[in-house]
Structure 1
């Protein structure tokens, strides 16, 4: 159907790839644990929306520009790295709330802010675009009548798998956080840890090459 080959292998491979820890996992778990399941699911929605942008761009051939143009790749890469660094530094510099108060940190983030963090960290990561260009075409027949449609179908399946896994993470982390009753002190140090990790991921992305 649609010129798609080895769909079962694609589904299994995609699920395993989605389960690999990364910035998305960190964002979802930290939000769910400190602010609840709803916040984690909002982060999932932002992440899924960001992936949709890459899927459509790759299907239309726009993402191919990142493969052929070193300048375009560098600009997108640096923008993404700068955003991750911004998030990380913001968390690291957040001040601890007074005893009995709520820390103005991860737990205080608005729904809009959480959604945008998930969305932007994906859209501004050129590695995601290159991944789709390298991975998805392997499961599309060379003689497929409509390769763009096949790409969109496979991309949708991959994103659905990813969102299901991310929702599982959000619910699990949210329930664990509720059970442990994360205090402002724990939330404060959770922010610091996540902030340091985002800074490290930003530096890693900034130093990434085009391959």
Structure 2
């Protein structure tokens, strides 16, 4: 269903994008710094599993679109490519504006932190748009069920996010201190992610 080149290309892009400083992973770091590694990991696992809801929406919505009109699916991929280019440009324009803080307070249990991360990710409309734009770029309709490919890609994204967020939570104190001592690193991570976004979007637009 998914070829090895598909999987490797997808995971490479997903790892770069997940590692780039953003609301989710910065909150994981902040939670771990202020509340301890177990709190950071609980919140991070919740954020990662929240991706499953976006995967389901992508599978249902995109699959219905393909069934209705292959031309419409091509249009969706083209619009998704343009959206990824726009996100890449924004990442370059606003590189380095995110920061790591250790000021997250409260006395929520690990379960509550997990649920908080799950809900925060699941209801974020920007993540919904991202999944609708990102996942279809790696789907090859000639290789079988589009729904199955989208589902597997979503599961792969969730798995790598859970692994990376778990590691961020576990090493939050060290990672947060390292990033704060090196303020120049954040902007370059943003630019790297922006380049990946632009590259993915342009590849799709040109290939069409």
**What TM-score range do you get, normalising by the shorter chain?**
0.5 to 0.7
Number of aligned residue pairs: give it.
141
Corresponding residue for residue 12 of structure 2: 12
Residue in 1 that maps onto 2:190: none
Contact 2:25 2:44 in 1 (8 A): no
2:59 matches 1:59 = yes
Structure 1 gap segments, 5+ residues each: 68-102, 180-211
Q: For residues 63 and 122 of structure 2, what CA distance do their matches in structure 1 show?
A: 11
Q: 8 Å contact 1:4–1:141 — kept in the other structure?
A: no
Q: What is the aligned partner in structure 2 of residue 115 from structure 1?
A: 114
Relative to 1, partners in 2 of residues 1:133 and 1:106: Cα closer, same or farther, differing over 3 Å? same
Distance 1:167 1:124 in 2: 21
Partner of 2:171: 172
Counterpart in the other structure of 1:151: 150
TM-score (norm 2): 0.59
- Offset from partner CA, 1:12-51 (integer Å, 9 cap, x none): 1110010111111222112211221111111012112211
In the other structure, the counterpart of 1:136 is: 135
Paired residues for 1:184-195 under 5 Å:
none
Is the CA contact 1:32–1:38 (under 8 Å) kept in the aligned structure 2?
A: yes
Two-structure CA RMSD over aligned residues (Å): 2.9
CA gap 1:5/1:139 in 2 versus in 1, 3 angstroms: farther
Distance 1:4 1:132 in 2: 21
* Cα displacement string for residues 104-152 of structure 1 (whole angstroms, at most 9, x for unaligned residues): x725222233122211111111111111111111111122321111111
Which aligned pairs between 1:46-85 and structure 2 lie closer than 5 A? 46-61=46-61
Q: TM-score by structure 1 length?
A: 0.58
Question: Tell me, which stretches of 5 or more residues in structure 2 are unaligned?
Answer: 66-75, 77-102, 178-208
Q: Distance in 2 between matches of 1:132 and 1:163?
A: 16
Residue 61 of structure 1 aligns to a residue in which SS?
Answer: helix
